[in-house]
Amino acid sequence: MVVQALYSASTGMSAMETKLDVIANNLANMETTAFKSARANFEDLFYRQQKFPGEEDTAGQYTPTGVAIGMGVRTQSTQTDFTQGAFRNTERPLDVAIEGRGFFQVMNPDGNILYTRAGNFSVNSNGDLVVGSASTGRLIEPPINIPEDTLAVVISPEGIVSVQQPDNNNLSNVGQIELATFINPEGLLKLGENLFAETDASGAPILGNPGQDGIGLVRQNTLEASNVEPVQELIDLITTQRAFEMNSQAIKVGDELMQNIANLRRY
C-alpha cells in the first residue's frame, strides 16, 4: 500500500535525524578532554507477512521464500566508543591522563561517586585535589590534599602522588590515585560535564591502583584528547544526508502515486 510507504519512509527520516544528532554531538566535542564518541545503531521494524516461507504450494512443494513487507526502521541504541584518545602534553603538573582502561573517581556534592576520564585537576582553597571545573569542584576519591607549602607535585605512573616541600630534599607521599573499571563501560550513564554514573547495565566498579590487574597507568603533565575522528564523522554526515534525502524522495513519490489514484476517480 502507498500509505505504508509513506510511514516507512518517515521512520527512515526520523532515524537519520537521530543519527545526525549523534554526529553533530561528536563533532561539537572534538576538543572536549577525554570525550568518547558515540554511534547510532538501527533495527528494522515489524513485517507484514503476506505469505510465510515454507508454505505448501499447489504442487505439494514447500516455498523456499515468503512475502514480507517491512514497516520501516527505528533507533536500536547509541553505543559509546571507549577506545583510547591521543595524548596531549600540557606541561601542567596537575594534568593527568589514563593510559589504558579505567576512570577517575570523583565525589558529587550529593555524596554519590561519579566517574570521569578527564584528568584536568586543580586544588581548591583547602588544598584538596578536585576536578578543574568552574561549576562544581568535585573532590577526587579517595581524597588527596596538597600542602600549602608545596614546591612541586610528582605523580608516578602507578598513581602515587608526592610533593616536594621546603627544607626537604625527599619527596613526601600525600596520596594514591585509585582507578575504577567496569565490566561493561558502555552501560555507564552519561551525565555531561565529562562524567559518568554507575548503572545496573555497567555493573559495579572494580577498584584498583594504576598498573594493577590490567588497570591503565597514568601520565602526568598530559591530557587525553577526544577520540572523535573528524574525517569519518564527515563521511557519516554525507551518507546520513543522502539517506534522509532518499527517504524524503520516497515520501514525495508516494504522495504523487496517491494523487494519481485520486485523479483516476474523476474519470
Q: Are 44 and 134 part of one and the same domain?
A: no
Q: Are 58 and 97 part of one and the same domain?
A: no
Whether 152 and 93 have beta carbons less than 8 Å apart is answered as yes
Which of 108, 107, 109, 104 lies closest to 120 in space, CA to CA? 104
Compute the 3-state secondary structure of the chain and give helix, strand, coil in percent, each to the nearest 5.
25, 35, 45
267 confidence band (pLDDT: 50, 70, 90): low
Q: Report the b/e string of 146-171 with b at 16+ CB within 10 A.
A: beeebeebebbeebbbbbebeeeeeb
Q: Are 77 and 91 part of one and the same domain?
A: no
Q: How far apart are CA 180 and CA 215, in angstroms?
A: 8
Does 35 have pLDDT greater than 90?
yes
CA 88 to chain CA centroid, Å, is 20
pLDDT tens digit sequence for 75-126: 999 999 999 999 999 999 999 999 999 999 999 989 999 999 999 999 999 9
Q: Are 165 and 100 part of one and the same domain?
A: yes
Q: Are 243 and 199 part of one and the same domain?
A: no
Cα–Cα distances in Å, from 257 out to 71, 149, 252?
18, 80, 9
**What's the CA dihedral at 106, 109, 113, 117 to 10 degrees?**
-30
Does 64 have pLDDT greater than 90?
no
Q: Are 236 and 260 part of one and the same domain?
A: yes
Q: Are 93 and 215 part of one and the same domain?
A: yes
Does 73 have pLDDT greater than 90?
yes
End-to-end CA separation in angstroms for the chain? 22
pLDDT score at 262? 72
Lowest-pLDDT range of 24-28, 53-57, 81-85, 148-152: 53-57
Q: Residue 257's domain spans which residues?
A: 2-81+228-264
Does 154 have pLDDT greater than 70?
yes
Mean pLDDT, the chain, whole residue set: 91
Q: Are 9 and 34 part of one and the same domain?
A: yes
Which triple of cell numbers denotes residue 7?
510511514
Count of domains forming the chain: 2
pLDDT score at 222? 96
Does 176 have pLDDT greater than 70?
yes
Q: Are 119 and 201 part of one and the same domain?
A: yes
Treating both helix axes as pointing N-terminal to C-terminal, what angle do 230-264 and 2-28 enclose, rounded to 10 degrees? 160
Query: What average pLDDT does range 144-161 have in this prediction?
Result: 93
Does 49 have pLDDT greater than 80?
yes
Does 184 have pLDDT greater than 70?
yes
The model carries a pTM of 0.87
Q: How far apart are CA 93 and CA 129, in angstroms?
A: 12
Q: Are 91 and 194 part of one and the same domain?
A: yes
Which of 236, 199, 177, 216 lies closest to 22 in space, CA to CA? 236
Which of 256, 161, 257, 159 lies closest to 209 in space, CA to CA? 159
Q: Are 123 and 44 part of one and the same domain?
A: no
The 8-class DSSP code of residue 229 comes to -
Lowest-pLDDT range of 154-158, 169-173, 194-198: 169-173
Q: Are 214 and 241 part of one and the same domain?
A: no
pLDDT tens digit sequence for 207-257: 999 998 888 899 999 999 999 999 999 999 999 999 999 999 988 888 777
Residue 103 sits at φ, ψ, to 5 deg, of -135, 145
Q: How far apart are CA 97 and CA 117, in angstroms?
A: 7
Taking only Cα atoms into account, the Rg of the chain, rounded to an integer number of angstroms, comes to: 27
pLDDT tens digit sequence for 249-261: 988 888 777 777 7
Does 1 have pLDDT greater than 60?
no
Whether 177 and 161 have beta carbons less than 8 Å apart is answered as yes
